[in-house]
Chains A and B, each alone.
Chain A
Amino acid sequence: MMEGVRRAVAKFLKGGGVYEKAVDAFLRDLQRELIKADVNVKLVLSVTRSIRERALKEEPPPGVTRRDWMIKIVYEELVKLFGGEQEPQVEPPKTPWVILLVGVQGSGKTTTAGKLAYYYVRRGYKVGLVSSDTHRPGAYEQLKRLAEEAGAMFYGEKEGDPADIARRGLEELLQRGAEVVIVDTAGRHGHGEEAKLLEEMRAIASKVRPDEVALVIDASIGQKAMSLAERFHKSTPIGSIIITKMDGTARGGGALTAAAVTGARIKFIGTGETLSELEPFAPRRFVARILGMGDL
């Protein structure tokens, strides 16, 4: 991922010449790579501006070269961009814990619901899945089959009011002893007529009162990521973000910076189609990998 950034870092560290010129050349390379990775253009410009200011102002501590110090600044600013130092908390702070999944059509909500169920089942929780998607044909069957595969309980109805279905599902699964309940919803993007669906999502949220609303985003999403995240955030404030399809060639920059708008944490990334392909997201490791610094 982002091999170009790695090459730019290597060039900057090995290259000679005037420091200021090298910084500018490096920042141009970095801008290109971030834009290619779909990071929002305005964020790219603002992050490279703050890197430049720090790089020209800050004096490195004794024994450290200016160029090494500059890369440290880049690392810190990118970690900030991608969510900060802290590792996300994936363990539910209390039980029962109710997660509502939201997102655009085809972003991978239903598969992610199955993966999350599998993730928590393996960590010893009793997990239940609720299908409230009455729009997409086959959604019910899909989640039912994933629940079986993951070893989770299932509740769903193919027709009816999604908010009532979600409410009934939650009640029944809690009665059956579920500690983590994951509610899958229909895909929507919240523009034009879809605004009605955002309304529906708000209705579901008000009936199930989730402990966490997770926005599921496709890694390949482009510059629209920010405004979409904003739209979702307005109707049900987002607690966390899950980025899917990180196994393709997409670099996930659009999804990563969606976090910047909502202030939500990126919690998991999906790296394949099978249930086990979900891992917690750690910004520091991610940035270290981008910069070619190995796992720090």
Chain B
Amino acid sequence: MFGRLREALNRASEHIARGIIDTLAYREIKPEDLQPLLDDILLDLVESDVALEAAEAIVAGVREELVGSRIRRGEPVERVVREALRKALLALLDPGPRPDLAGEARARCGGRPLVILFLGVNGTGKTTTIAKVAYMLRKAGVTPVIAAADTFRAGAQEQLAAHAEKIGVPIVRGRYGADPASVAYDAIKHAQSRGFCAVLVDTAGRMHVDSNLVEELRKIVRVSNPDYKILVVDSLTGNDAVEQARLFNEAVGVDGVIVTKVDADPKGGTLVSVAHAIRKPILYLGTGQGYEDLEPFDPQKTVNRLLE
């Protein structure tokens, strides 16, 4: 009988003792511990070209997670904050599995080809990126057909034709001023009848706020019914990356992103802005002017570079 009482008392005192040890060993993170650190982090992110809106959202998430949580005494708050930040960035940049374009194209051989449409504002590198993707697919054994549906910009047709010839992939061209949707349609028909497994559709660069050109893009999408709509974003872009991603996503839907000119030394903030705006996977990074300069995106590496 006493045995049970003693046991109960023991348990209670053990509990109290652990409580005391806990308050001695751990402490709660207070908002005032965090604020100066978070202010610094915000500026660091912004200086790495993370759009202000995205940087604020990330910092707010870290604050929410950490305020009121307990850390071991003697453990620097800074380390805890950096760990939380790393986790938040990684979750943002790695939202799920990325498609295997070559594998999917191979599975389509004999049927309707895999259609990939590239879109973006002027000068981000769509045409060069298409050449790189074509080169990559060809190396993987699935030669694609390129549809030169930029029938607007002077030199665009010649540019893509020169690439196609160098890489050794077929191209379907359009006359300047011709309907881009019909060029895409012809290319898909061509691929189907000749047994090609993939079609890469180039489109003219357009400002995301130009309603006529966005309407034209919708028409190309309706006619070509792409499996993937890939947004091409220049890594030198600052806060506008958010607007570009959001407006294209609203207009036609974006399935994945390729970020170009990463070799121009930005820390990768643009990738964070885009991921924050549309929560779509980043597929590849463009790292130079050569055909080989297309790297599969590695979230871990980007996060490391951002937190360096």
Q: Are A138 and B49 in contact (CB under 8 A)?
A: no
B209 at the binding interface (Cβ < 8 Å): yes
Q: How far is the CA of A135 from the CA of B163 in the complex (A)?
A: 12
Given A218-B236, A224-B264, also A35-B52 (CB < 8 A)? yes
Hey, which bits of chain A sit against chain B, CB under 8 A? 32, 35-38, 41, 104-108, 110, 114, 135-143, 145-146, 189, 191-194, 218-225, 227-228, 245, 247-251, 253-254, 273
Q: How far is the CA of A81 from the CA of B116 in the complex (A)?
A: 44
Chain B 233-269: CB-based contact to A (< 8 A → 1; otherwise 0)? 0101111110110010000000000000101111001
Hey, which bits of chain B sit against chain A, CB under 8 A? 43, 46-49, 51-53, 121-125, 152-163, 207-210, 234, 236-241, 243-244, 247, 261, 263-266, 269-270, 288-289
**B243 surroundings in chain A (CB, below 8 A):** 248-250
Most chain A beta carbons < 10 A, residue from B43, B48, B122, B247: B122
Q: How far is the CA of A224 from the CA of B52 in the complex (A)?
A: 15
Given A35-B46, A41-B47, A248-B240, also A138-B264 (CB < 8 A)? no
Most chain A beta carbons < 10 A, residue from B49, B157, B240: B240
Q: Kindly identify which residue among A108, A224, A227 contacts B123, using a CB–CB cutoff of 8 Å.
A: A108
Most chain B beta carbons < 10 A, residue from A139, A140, A220: A220
How far is the CB of B161 from the nearest CB of chain A, in Å? 8
How far is the CB of B208 from the nearest CB of chain A, in Å? 7
Q: How far is the CA of A112 from the CA of B124 in the complex (A)?
A: 16
Q: How far is the CA of A93 from the CA of B121 in the complex (A)?
A: 36
Given A222-B237, A223-B46, A223-B48, also A141-B123 (CB < 8 A)? no
Q: Kindly identify which residue among B122, B125, B154 contacts A141, using a CB–CB cutoff of 8 Å.
A: B154
Q: Are A222 and B121 in contact (CB under 8 A)?
A: no
Q: How far is the CA of A150 from the CA of B155 in the complex (A)?
A: 16
**A138 surroundings in chain B (CB, below 8 A):** 155-162
**B155 surroundings in chain A (CB, below 8 A):** 110, 138-143, 145
Q: Kindly identify which residue among A189, A193, A253 contacts B261, using a CB–CB cutoff of 8 Å.
A: A189
**A191 surroundings in chain B (CB, below 8 A):** 263-265
Q: Kindly identify which residue among B122, B208, B234, B238 contacts A273, using a CB–CB cutoff of 8 Å.
A: B122
Q: Are A223 and B47 in contact (CB under 8 A)?
A: yes
- Closest-by-CB residue of B relative to A250 is B240
- Closest-by-CB residue of B relative to A148 is B154
Q: How far is the CA of A20 from the CA of B183 in the complex (A)?
A: 62
Given A35-B46, A136-B159, A137-B162, also A220-B238 (CB < 8 A)? yes
**B270 surroundings in chain A (CB, below 8 A):** 222
How far is the CB of A231 from the nearest CB of chain B, in Å? 10
Q: How far is the CA of A194 from the CA of B263 in the complex (A)?
A: 9
Q: How far is the CA of A253 from the CA of B121 in the complex (A)?
A: 18
**A107 surroundings in chain B (CB, below 8 A):** 123
Q: Are B266 and A224 in contact (CB under 8 A)?
A: yes
Q: How far is the CA of A189 from the CA of B53 in the complex (A)?
A: 27
**B263 surroundings in chain A (CB, below 8 A):** 189, 191-194
**B241 surroundings in chain A (CB, below 8 A):** 220, 222
**A194 surroundings in chain B (CB, below 8 A):** 263-264
**B156 surroundings in chain A (CB, below 8 A):** 138, 142
Q: A105-B123, A138-B161 are in contact. List 15 more A-B contacts (CB 8 A).
A: A35-B46, A36-B53, A36-B239, A105-B261, A106-B123, A138-B156, A142-B159, A221-B237, A222-B238, A245-B121, A245-B122, A249-B240, A250-B237, A251-B239, A273-B153
Q: How far is the CA of A194 from the CA of B265 in the complex (A)?
A: 11
**A249 surroundings in chain B (CB, below 8 A):** 208-209, 240, 243-244, 247
Q: Are B264 and A222 in contact (CB under 8 A)?
A: no
How far is the CB of A66 from the nearest CB of chain B, in Å? 29
- Closest-by-CB residue of B relative to A221 is B236
Given A35-B52, A248-B208, also A104-B154 (CB < 8 A)? no
How far is the CB of A185 from the nearest CB of chain B, in Å? 14
Q: Are B122 and A224 in contact (CB under 8 A)?
A: no
- Closest-by-CB residue of B relative to A135 is B289
